[in-house]
Structure 1
Amino acid sequence: MVEYKTEEQKKKFYRTGDWNKLRIEALDRDNHECQQCKREGKVHVDSIKVQGERKSVELNVHHKYEIEHYPKLALVLDNLETLCLNCHNKMHDRVFGEQKKKRWDDERWE
């Protein structure tokens, strides 16, 4: 059975033609819209490619059940959903630009 435990194994998987094909299928199925934003009544669609410029990444295809723990679901369309970068980062507890809450809410005495 294939495993996706290490970063190198995951990177190798995400470079395969099978993944890329399924990723496009998931994006098309989800109409290139963030499904979490949609559930919240918002709209976040993919960026548009401008000739001569690099396309900005707006959407990711997310595994609902992570491949590290559920390798059999790595290439199952029903295990995928389209998310914007912000929602995808929230799903993985990666929050940037916000200060983490202080552990103690004490005043500082000088």
Structure 2
Amino acid sequence: MKGYRTSKWDEFRAEVIELDGHACRICKRAEPDVVLQVHHKRYIPGKQPWEYAYADCETLCKGCHAGEHGITPPKYGWKYAGHDDLGGLYGDCDLCGSSLRHRFFVHHKSWGTMQVGTYCCNALTDTEAASNHLESRKKYDDRKGRFIKSARWEVIGNNHFIKQKKIQIRIASTSSGYRISMNNYPGKQEFGSIEEAKTKVFEVIDSGKAEEFLALLVRTKKRCTPYELKSRFRIKHKPRYEDTS
């Protein structure tokens, strides 16, 4: 478990509350006497809750926030706005109070943003957005696990080799960690463990970013002299290794 990871919403929320002096704009009360929330003064279609201007938001306590919108949240008209994996049961559903690991953000033009669990997200949005997201996430994690543990990885000396989507991958052990090379183009980032390096390889290949970047390097190489290419990307020639797939 990587532990708690602050989302863009958490960061934006903290910034708004700080700008408002850590107190409710209406009753002036502050934590720990009240629970502070961020209220969106207006709804802007297409914007994520954390993409609003500060002027469009204000800090309200839970009671004053409810007073601005009514006693209970609307039952209809909610839109799915995002997801965050907290890594453990560190959150609470704003609707039912249940402990959350996977929190889903939902937004209503007359209420604002709430963080809720899977069931409440599905119910409020009248969709299976939360369930579908978790199912997709599970399939992704399963693919990642199979790639990391694949028997196709070949270990030669301090190097781990595999071929994936026609990309030759080498993870080399260094004095300070592990470094990735793809099609003989060495990366600059070092990883603390072989599992972290393999995870990174999976992420960039599964997302298509590796193919895009390598294609860009090939196109750039055709337009540049060897000296220009080396200067631009700091790439040193490495001997090719055999296909070990």
TM-score by length of 1: 0.50
- The CA deviation at 1:88 is 0.2
1:83 aligns with 2:83: no
- SS of residue matched to 1:78: helix
Measure, in 1, the Cα distance between the counterparts of 2:38 and 2:57: 6
C-alpha distance in 2 between matches for 1:83 and 1:27? 9
**Cα gap change, 1:32 to 1:58, in 2 (>3 Å):** same
Give ranges in structure 1 of 5+ residues lacking alignment: 1-15, 38-42, 49-56, 96-110
Higher strand share: 2
**Equivalent residue runs for 1:1-110 within 5 Å:** 17-37=7-27, 43-47=28-32, 58-66=35-43, 70-72=45-47, 74=49, 75-76=51-52, 77-94=54-71
The secondary structure found in structure 2 opposite 1:35 is coil
Alpha-carbon distance in 1 for matches of 2:23, 2:46: 26
Question: In structure 1, how many angstroms separate the alpha carbons of the residues matched to 2:45 and 2:64?
Answer: 21
Q: CA RMSD in A?
A: 2.5
| Aligned length, in residue pairs | 66
Deviation at 1:71, TM superposition (A): 3.6
- The one-letter code matched in structure 1 to 2:31 is D
Residues 73, 79 of structure 1: 8 Å contact kept? no
Identity over aligned residues, as a percent?
34
Could you tell me how far 1:94 is from its partner in structure 2? 1.0
SS at match of 1:81: strand
Amino acid at match of 2:18: D
Whole-angstrom distance in 2 between the partners of 1:47 and 1:30: 16
One-letter amino acid of the structure 1 residue matched with residue 22 of structure 2: H
Unaligned runs of 5+ in 2: 1-5, 73-245
What code does the residue aligned with 1:94 have?
I
After superposition, give the CA deviation of every residue in 1:46-78 in whole Å (9 maximum; x if it has no partner). 117xxxxxxxx6111111113xx5343732222
* Rounded Cα–Cα distance in structure 1 between residues aligned with 2:63 and 2:9: 22
Larger radius of gyration: 2
| TM superposition outliers: structure 1 runs of 4+ over 2 Å | 69-74
What TM-score comes out, normalization by structure 2 length? 0.24
> Separation in 1 of the partners of 2:68 and 2:20?
18
Query: Separation in 2 of the partners of 1:34 and 1:72?
Result: 24
Letter in 2 for 1:46: E
Residues 69-93 of structure 1, C-alpha deviations (whole Å, 9 max, x = no match)? 5343732222111001111001111
Structure with larger RCO (C-alpha < 8 A, sep 6+):
1
